[in-house]
Structure 1
Amino acid sequence: MGDRLMATTYSSLRLTPGNPMIKPVLLTACLLAAAPVLAQTSGEPARDPAKTEVWKPVPAIVATPPNAAPSDAVVLFDGKDLSAWEGEQGGKAPWRIANGAFTVVPGSKGIRTKQSFCDVQLHIEWRTPAETKGFDGQARGNSGIFLQEVYELQVLDSYDNPTYSNGQAASIYKQAIPLVNASRKPGEWQAYDVIWKAPRFSEGGGLLSPARITVLHNGVLVQNDTVVSGKTEYIGAPSYPPHGCAPIFLQDHDATVSYRNVWVREL
């Protein structure tokens, strides 16, 4: 019926360009043609936006004060003492504390947290020595952050300091090259923000899923959900011996690297 009405209207009015009746006639014809469609949809029930609203569970509230750890974080260094740490071979952590930071004492060996961790969000700030004369490559501001004691995120002065790419700052040492080099000048404070997903093992010790790591270096993404091939090895290929949660370990590599503002959130 709508098609016949439209054809009759066009014929009877002899619509031509400039005819003032064109617009009203076309509008009337279109509305009549669409009437059956409108009739079909007008009887549908109204859609309810509440059907896609989820109210529970309610996320826990985490306070995020400026320049401080989140309220649910485990603070590993608050600028005052190393009570959350111990020496590599046990006993009191031997590194030096001054001006709200702690610094490697070369030859004293590394330190590790007293608490063990699996999946974590880690924030840690670090600084390599300002004096670089006579040092280059891996000898310049070398240290390392080991997740679960055996997976190393490299700490190194990589500002205008060529070395092998899978050994520079923000590399997963000898495994994964960082996406970019976001290093600051020697002597300046830098920061790593890390999301660490621990490996999973079967009851028999087989690997169910490898470790994964995401790292922001000075706010820049440098490791993007990187699959870790196994524990860090200086020589040879990495592998996955089964293990559970373990401490965070900081390496003494004969350089006076400093750390501050260290905290983790267990995930």
Structure 2
Amino acid sequence: MKFPLSRGWNARWCRVLGLSLGWTAVAAQTPLPLTDLSSFRNPSKSWSIVGAASGTPQDAALKGASGTGVLLATPGKLYNQADYLVTKFEHGDMNISLDFMLPKGSNSGVYLMGRYEVQLYDSWGVQNPKSIDCGALYERWDDKRTPSGYEGHAPRLNASRAPGLWQHLEIAFKAPKFDASGKKISNARFVKVVLNGTIIHENIDVFGPTRASLYNDEKARGPLVLQGDHGPVAFRSVSYELLDKAPLVAGPVEYAFYSGKYSVIPNLDTLKAKPVRTGTVEKVNSTLADGKSDYLLVFNGKLTAPDADQYQLIVQWTGKGRLVVDGKNVFEGDLWYDKPKTVDVTLSKGEHTYSLLQAKDFSWAPKVIGFYAERKGGNLQELHGFGSVPDVDPVPVIAVEPKNEAEQVRSFVWKPGFTAGDANKKLRVLHVGDPTGVHYSYDLDQASLLVSWRGGFINMADAWHERGEAQTSEPLGAVLPLWATAPVGAEGSATPDSTAGLIYKGYRLDGQGHPTFTYQLAGAEFTDFIQPYESGKGLSRTVSLKGGSGLEYRLAKGRTIASVGKGLYLVDGIFYVQTTARVRIVPNNGQQELRAAGGAPVQYELIW
């Protein structure tokens, strides 16, 4: 389901609604085959297919392993456009997702239509990113201007990770449009760019090709281009969806407005009430009802399908409603305004009738009717009129930011992968923010790091605004999900979701406000001290055991853990563990863990 930002909606409101903001699930995309280079036009010798790529934070090159599935560029002569990798397919509107890896100091880019660049750059540790940094929409260029570079867009924040780590990029893009005479009537637009799970751009028009683009003109279609002449780079898991299928055509809508309380959606054939008014309008619209409640709206319209296909019709309303297509009831039920419902319908080519009925018999909550349509390979259509999904009262950002020392705040945290609900919350979580710009959330019940992030500290609006019903909070930076289990346990035991017998005893602060957490476990005292590593490039953690026996430390877990250098371990390709301690990699419940013997304190760094 792909939802653009509607008029007046902010990103936070759309997250509350659960809408995906102009997005296509990766499952709906077509993978770009990477078994060989046959998907590309005349690839240069600087590109090869490998089975894996690897690096470290210090290496200026990437290593490739035998196999398939990964694109690796090892440029020879710099700034040679012959080393650009150009797809055979061309695109207009498109959604794309991919993983990329850069070594230390490297530079690359993804050019939509071969013209508009999303910059890929080693921006690890940059505090205030510019239009040359990773994720930026790169500048246009004119030697006659001062300065020569112009119209670049820096990312909202630096969401990039350390060299040698896989990073994930998603782009929703609209191509420029032209009239029959070839005159441009709308600019190319980056609807959304997401780097490592963080939105860094939304709805930005670009007025012409980027510097160093493959083409200097603008057209309705062009190839995807990967820059391979500025430095080593690797790509994998490249997939895309071309959004070039024609939309449904919606005609005028006949409506009837009834006043009164409707506890159920009535059968219109037996409805005795007379409508207050009727008429014909361009689109479905909730504003056609008087007042906030005690009404029934009935809409009858037609949709013309350009092709026989499966379509998704998405409805959104407050109260009760029914959607009927070609005389068949495809959905009926109560909806809350922030919970849209998606219905799959198969439509033959040609004209189809629909009816949408909506009733509201309570005055609280906004009056809303949203009606959308889309299909795979097509853009989302908004079939309701302006004002039908009204702006909501803005919820302020209540930001907590550390100044001269670390800050600590408490809130609940939703468990990942679970729906909202008190049973799916972590209830004893401490969030620690540091002036260096690296922060973390700590589960006090489990002695575990849940997430860490860079950028702003935390938004407490859901806990502190008005009634603060959710009592949750929101990181204000680029999040690294850790969600680890307890870092200490019995030797050789499986890692449970919580450690039996682990008793929280509190924490004490050092002179900079960093806590040392204290626990009792199996007759031992366990302490856990966490502080920033190298001005925000990661976290340094020191764990210690006093007394007890048969316990060991668990430094990390993941699907895969690999040694990539002396004392340096790569976890799932997305973060490093660095330590001088003697450790071992052991299997556990289908995953792997990095463990060290209990007893003497162990210090290690989480680097990303």
**Structure 2-normalised TM-score?**
0.29
Whether 2:235 is the aligned partner of 1:259: answer yes
Corresponding position of 2:17:
none
- Read off the aligned partner of 2:97 and give its amino acid letter: H
Whether 2:114 is the aligned partner of 1:149: answer yes
Instruction: Decide which structure has greater helix share.
Output: 1
Report if the CA contact (8 A) 2:75-2:83 is conserved.
Answer: yes
Task: Give the number of the structure whose alpha-carbon radius of gyration is greater.
Answer: 1
Corresponding position of 2:50:
98
Whether 2:36 is the aligned partner of 1:81: answer yes
Report if the CA contact (8 A) 1:205-1:242 is conserved.
Answer: no
Instruction: Give the whole-Å Cα distance in 2 for the aligned partners of 1:217 and 1:177.
Output: 13
Corresponding position of 2:95:
121
Report if the CA contact (8 A) 1:201-1:242 is conserved.
Answer: no
- Kindly tell me: are residues 202 and 242 of structure 1, through their superposed partners in 2, closer, same or farther at Cα, counting changes over 3 Å? farther
Corresponding position of 1:215:
193
Q: How far is 1:264 from its partner?
A: 0.3
Instruction: Give the whole-Å Cα distance in 1 for the aligned partners of 2:232 and 2:180.
Output: 42
Instruction: Give the whole-Å Cα distance in 2 for the aligned partners of 1:104 and 1:173.
Output: 21
Report if the CA contact (8 A) 2:160-2:167 is conserved.
Answer: yes
Report if the CA contact (8 A) 1:85-1:93 is conserved.
Answer: no
- Kindly tell me: are residues 234 and 254 of structure 1, through their superposed partners in 2, closer, same or farther at Cα, counting changes over 3 Å? closer
Whether 2:223 is the aligned partner of 1:247: answer yes
- Kindly tell me: are residues 234 and 101 of structure 1, through their superposed partners in 2, closer, same or farther at Cα, counting changes over 3 Å? closer
The answer for unaligned runs of 5 or more in structure 2 is: 1-23, 52-68, 77-81, 140-151, 244-608
Instruction: Decide which structure has greater strand share.
Output: 2
Corresponding position of 2:203:
225
Corresponding position of 1:167:
132
Q: How far is 1:93 from its partner?
A: 7.1
Q: How far is 1:74 from its partner?
A: 2.4
Instruction: Give the whole-Å Cα distance in 1 for the aligned partners of 2:222 and 2:169.
Output: 20
Report if the CA contact (8 A) 2:94-2:240 is conserved.
Answer: yes
Q: Secondary structure at the match of 1:182?
A: coil
- Read off the aligned partner of 1:83 and give its amino acid letter: S
- Kindly tell me: are residues 92 and 115 of structure 1, through their superposed partners in 2, closer, same or farther at Cα, counting changes over 3 Å? farther
- Read off the aligned partner of 1:157 and give its amino acid letter: D
Instruction: Give the whole-Å Cα distance in 2 for the aligned partners of 1:250 and 1:256.
Output: 12
Greater RCO, 1 or 2 (C-alpha within 8 Å, sep 6+) = 1
Q: How far is 1:83 from its partner?
A: 2.2
Q: Secondary structure at the match of 1:264?
A: strand
Q: How far is 1:171 from its partner?
A: 0.6
CA root-mean-square deviation: 2.6
Cα deviation 1:89-146 (Å, max 9, x = unaligned): x3677512212311113036111110111111100110001xx3xxxxxxx2101100
Instruction: Give the whole-Å Cα distance in 2 for the aligned partners of 1:146 and 1:190.
Output: 17
The answer for unaligned runs of 5 or more in structure 1 is: 1-62, 133-139
Corresponding position of 1:111:
85
Instruction: Give the whole-Å Cα distance in 2 for the aligned partners of 1:163 and 1:257.
Output: 23
Q: Secondary structure at the match of 1:97?
A: strand
- Read off the aligned partner of 2:29 and give its amino acid letter: A
**Structure 1-normalised TM-score?**
0.63
Count of aligned positions: 184
- Could you tell me the percent identity over the aligned residues? 29
- Kindly tell me: are residues 118 and 110 of structure 1, through their superposed partners in 2, closer, same or farther at Cα, counting changes over 3 Å? same
